[in-house]
Chain A
């Protein structure tokens, strides 16, 4: 059945290194969400794309984070340079875009990328 895929599933890196996380939304879905989950902050929405265009990235630290959709089948979240406080699980979710607004969507989540920055 159709699923959102994320790679890598786990990533350990050293502070200062660049990290790139990838997401493949469900085929035909035109909305993509990026979330960060930590014990302290819970689930935070970082960015939202519709039809490959970023519509809301207000939750994303702009100085080191960037999100793109090079094409309809790939979304990327990049951290450069990474810091220990970026350690978290990063989820990608996709939606069909049929709802009236982005936040009315039923979101289909990927399994997440667990990031540890040493």
Chain B
């Protein structure tokens, strides 16, 4: 069965610093990949998604992610974080072959230091 791993439960970075959130998946075929953000007390909002084509995907709020098939990874990056980026970030994988499923990672909580 497919799985999604976000190795970092909690990350703290300083405002203005760069950010990389890790996501690894386990799935035999090319998956559909998503990053969602959840602000406190809110639902999830889509940041970006990858289906095919260019492996570097641009999203909203200045985020980008890169799909690396050889590493089964889809890491999220931002060159300079803002205090408003403090939130929980979820990577998700959708499988389209066989029994279709959508699986979310456990999430990474991002704290921003002023």
**Interface set of A (CB-CB < 8 Å, partner B):** 4, 42-45, 56, 91, 93, 100-104, 106-112
Complex: A107 Cα to B101 Cα, angstroms = 14
A-B residue pairs in contact (CB < 8 Å), sample of 5 = A4-B43, A43-B90, A101-B100, A103-B101, A109-B43
Tell me which residues from 26 to 85 in chain B have a Cβ below 8 Å from any Cβ of chain A. Answer: 32, 36, 41-46, 49, 51
**In the complex, what distance in Å separates the CA atom of A56 from the CA atom of B96?**
14
B residues apposed to A, CB below 8 Å: 32, 36, 41-46, 49, 51, 90, 94-96, 100-102, 104-107
- Judged by DSSP, the binding face of B is strand
Shortest B55–chain A CB gap in Å is: 18
Residue of B nearest to A43 (CB): B104
Does the CB pair A111–B41 fall under 8 Å? yes
A42 touches B46 (CB 8 A): no
Closest CB in chain B relative to A24 CB, distance in Å: 13
Cβ of A112: which chain B residues have Cβ within 8 Å of it?
41-43
Q: Is A104 within 8 A of B96, CB to CB?
A: yes
B32 close to A42 (CB less than 8 A): no
B70 to chain A: closest CB distance in Å? 23
Known A44-B104, A102-B100; 20 more pairs at CB < 8 Å: A4-B43, A42-B106, A42-B107, A45-B102, A91-B44, A93-B44, A101-B96, A103-B95, A103-B100, A103-B101, A103-B102, A104-B32, A104-B96, A106-B46, A107-B44, A109-B43, A111-B41, A111-B43, A112-B41, A112-B42
CA distance A96 to B106 in the complex (A): 26
* CA of A101 to CA of B32, assembled, Å: 11
Bound: A93/B90 CA distance, A: 15
| Nearest B residue to A33, CB-CB | B102
Cβ–Cβ contact A42 & B42, under 8 A: no
A4, A91, A104, A108 pick with most chain B CB within 10 angstroms: A104
Is there an interface contact between A106 and B101, defined as CB atoms closer than 8 Å?
Answer: no
